[in-house]
Each structure stands twice: as C-alpha cells, then as structure tokens.
Amino acid sequence: MDTYVLPLGSKSPSLAELQQNGLASVERHPSTWSPEAEQDRIAGPAASLLTNGLKAKRPVKATAAPSTGATYPEPPRTITDKECTDNLNNGLFYFKSRYAMCGGMQFQQVWGRNGRPVGESGFALIVLGTIPNAKDRTVRFDYHFSHFSKAGNTKTSGLVVTTEVSQKLLVSKAQKRESGLIPPKESFDALKASPNYRHNVVFDAGQGTKPDDLITMAYVPFVSMKYPPEYTGVNPGQVRVTFTAMNWDAAPYLPNSKATDPKQRGGAAFAYKAVLPYSSKQGAPEQAVTDHLNVAHTQPAKTKPPNPKKDVPGFEVKRPLHRLARDKSRLRANRRAAQSMCVMYWGANYATSDPKGPRECDEYPFASTYEGAAQSKYERNVLEGNFSALPIPKAENKAGGTILSLFYDRNRVLDGRDAKGDEVDAYIVNIK
C-alpha cells in the first residue's frame, strides 16, 4: 500500500478512478515550492526552523484587519475549519491574525494487491491555533480529523496514525504547563470514531529573558503512519502538518503588564509579521499619511531628503519594520532628524505656513522603528538619508499615529531587536 500527502481540500480519486488511471490520478504536490517564502512570514528567531522537506506550495498572503476611522480593530481570536481550508492556499500555515492561525494536510492510502489498486482510504487533519483571551497566556491547539473515506478492500483497523508535536524553546528555559490532549496513537477507525482533540500550552510570566520577560517557542505537529504487518509500500514517514511559533511576554509598554496576578502579566501572540493597514480612500482620517507612505515607497525621488539610492523598507516581508519601544533617546533622535528636513525644505514655520491649517512633520519609516530617520547614526553600513519627511495636516498625522499605536498594542508588537541587534519581532505596512 502507498500513502500520499495532499494539500488540504484536494480532490481524492475514487477507487474506480485509481483502477482505471492508476496512481496518475492522485493529485501531487507541486515540486516548485520553496521554504524561503514561508520563512519570510515568521518574525524573529523561529523563522530559522523552517527548512527543507515541508509539504506545501506557497504561503497565503497574511490578511490585514481593515481600519475604520482613526482606529484599529481588535484582531480576531477565532478561526474555523472552513476558513482554514478556504485560505490555506496549499501553504504550510495560514495566519488570520496574531491570535488565530491554522494548518492542515490530507492523506490518501492506496491499498494494492499484485500491483493493482484494490482499495482506497483517506483522511484530513486540520490544526487550529488560537489565543482566545487577551488577559490569559494560554495558547490553544484544536486537532480536527475529518473527511474519512474508504472503499474496496482495506484494513483500516490496522492502519495506525501517530501524532507527535515538537515544542522547541528558542528563547528562555522556562517551564510550560500543558493541559488537554495531543491526539494519541490510534488506528484509522478509532480516530474516525473520536476525531477531535485539544492541547493547551501556557508559560507563566516571570520566567522569560529580560527586558521584556520574553519566551519564544516553536510548535510543530507531525503525523506518521504504520501499515498493517502484511502490507508494505510507499510510506511518507513523519509529515509536518503545520508550523507556528509563539511569543509570551510581559513587556511594560504592552497591555496587561500590571495584572494583579504576577503569573498572568502580559500575554501571548503568534510570531508572524503582522500587517499594518493604512487607507488611501478619499476622506480617510489618515489619508495624508497614506499618500506620503505611498510616494515614499513608489516614487522616492520625489521625497526629501533627496537621495538617488533611497529605498525605504516596510512594504515587503523580506524588508520589514522593527518597533523601537525601549530606547526613547533614539526615538527622539529619529523625530529630530525628520523635523530638521521639514525645516530645511519647508521653512522654520512649516507648521503654520499652510493657510489650510496647522501641519506636523510626518516621517517614514516611523520614528518608532529602528529604521527611522536617525538609523545611520546608530548602525553601520546602512544608507544615510533613507527616509522621507513631509509636512502634512496635523489632524491626519494624529490619526495615523493613533492607528499605529493601537496596532502595536492590539498585536502585542515587541521591541524588534535584541541587545545583539538580532530580530525579535517585525511587521509590514499595507496601503489599502
């Protein structure tokens, strides 16, 4: 017998189709997939664990929660099997938000005799990861086995399915607490009779690395199968069903850092590069900010300061932005560097010289990022003047700042660099 690993939602051939067309009727994984595309979506050190041998085609683009008015909505904390199937797009994972993700695979067995298919069976496994409560550090993983099928001559009672999970701490040596159940080693028939399981993982605050009490862990479910003794054939071995990583923190600049119970301080989030949406819609509160970002990104030659090599980051996952939360001196330096350009090119009275109303100096990359206007003063081998400064209406600049502040808080965006300068967290900007 042979087992084939298929993208979630694939059409499995019937026994009649297998007998007529042979194994050519089994939908296969494309061979053009590269793990680097998946790596780019993960923020921080966990990205290094995504290596060759993954069973996926390409990642789906992460979704950005739409902003309405000068606000940023609470990211969703629930996800369904249908949402996973509809959005996974042959990828190893789909992130609905920093608090809801999923992955899944489909498995098909072809039972043979004398080189001819005589039976077929199959099932799917979806893993839903959620962080249901902003004030609870528990991460929940729901395992749903489904789409069981069999026809012809099979022995599914002897087909043993094993689910295992690699849980690797990347930052800190903290002790986790677990509850619920990872799916046990069971036969195909037993899993069909009892298909749903829940596994909870939590790290109490106070165990992480300074200064943000950070704990990072990769969570990787695998499935393998053991055939009945009388059957041999192609066995894919241990198959990675999905991949995710979580950050637990109690950063003082993020919500819930002063909870009454010290163990419950801070929160948790999946370590993927969140997407900050700014609206270009006519009349949007932040429209002037969005227009400035768009010009900085697509027409840098039209921005100040002039720089023929200007190429601002933040619009693609390979070149994200990194929040600057702790170093207030550097943040102020970013603002001063941008404001000096507004003064140089629009005059010392730029804030009051527009008859339409008061203005403020907007800067991109944001002052609250390591990539801000003063970056070249703090880091070697970076392009000097790789930013844009522009006076814009004060109200619209305030609206853009409000959205950014809420985005940081509601996605638990951490200070993006550690003491060595390595990435801890990151995000990208999307102009809607």
pLDDT for 309 equals 96
Q: What is the DSSP code (8-state) at residue 183? A: P
Q: What is the DSSP code (8-state) at residue 304? A: B
Residue 109 and residue 87 share a domain: yes
Give the contacts of 336 (CB within 8 A, at least 6 positions apart).
374
Residue type at position 373: A
**Nearest Cα to Cα of residue 163 among 111, 138, 126, 193:** 126
Strands 274-278 and 427-431: parallel
Residue 140 and residue 95 share a domain: yes
Residue 353 and residue 256 share a domain: no
391 forms bridges with which residues in the sheet? 361
Picking from 270, 305, 331, the residue at the C-terminal end of a domain is 270
Residue 374 and residue 238 share a domain: no
What's the mean pLDDT in 377-382?
Answer: 95
Residue 211 and residue 256 share a domain: yes
> pTM for the complete prediction?
0.92
**Nearest Cα to Cα of residue 212 among 270, 138, 260, 265:** 265
Picking from 270, 295, 328, the residue at the C-terminal end of a domain is 270
DSSP 29-76: --TT--HHHHHTTB-SGGGGG--S----S-PPPPP-PPP-SS--PPPP
What is the end-to-end Cα distance of the chain in Å, rounded? 50
| SS3 category, 106 | strand
Half-sphere exposure of 162 (CA within 13 A, CB side): 10
What's the mean pLDDT in 390-404?
Answer: 97
Residue 24 and residue 70 share a domain: yes
Residue 67 and residue 174 share a domain: yes
Residue 134 and residue 168 share a domain: yes
pLDDT for 113 equals 86
Kindly report, residue by residue over 49-91, the tens digit of the pLDDT.
775 333 333 333 445 554 445 789 999 999 999 999 999 988 8
Residue 67 and residue 12 share a domain: yes
Cβ pair 167, 129 in contact under 8 A = no
Q: Picking from 41-45, 243-247, 282-286, which range would have the lowest pLDDT averaged per residue?
A: 41-45
Residue 307 and residue 200 share a domain: no
**Longest distance between any two alpha carbons in the chain, whole Å:** 88
User: Could you tell me the two tokens for 330?
Assistant: 């550097």
Instruction: Quickly count: other Cβ atoms within 10 Å of residue 160's Cβ.
Output: 16
pLDDT for 50 equals 73
What's the structural domain count of the chain?
2
pLDDT for 19 equals 79
pLDDT for 13 equals 79
Domain that holds residue 405: 274-431
Cβ pair 286, 398 in contact under 8 A = no
What's the mean pLDDT in 213-229?
Answer: 96
Picking from 270, 296, 325, the residue at the C-terminal end of a domain is 270
Residue type at position 427: Y
Residue 120 and residue 56 share a domain: yes
Peptide bond into 285 cis (omega under 30): no
47 has a pLDDT exceeding 90: no
Residue 236 and residue 348 share a domain: no
Q: Which helix (H) or strand (E) holds 298?
A: helix 287-298
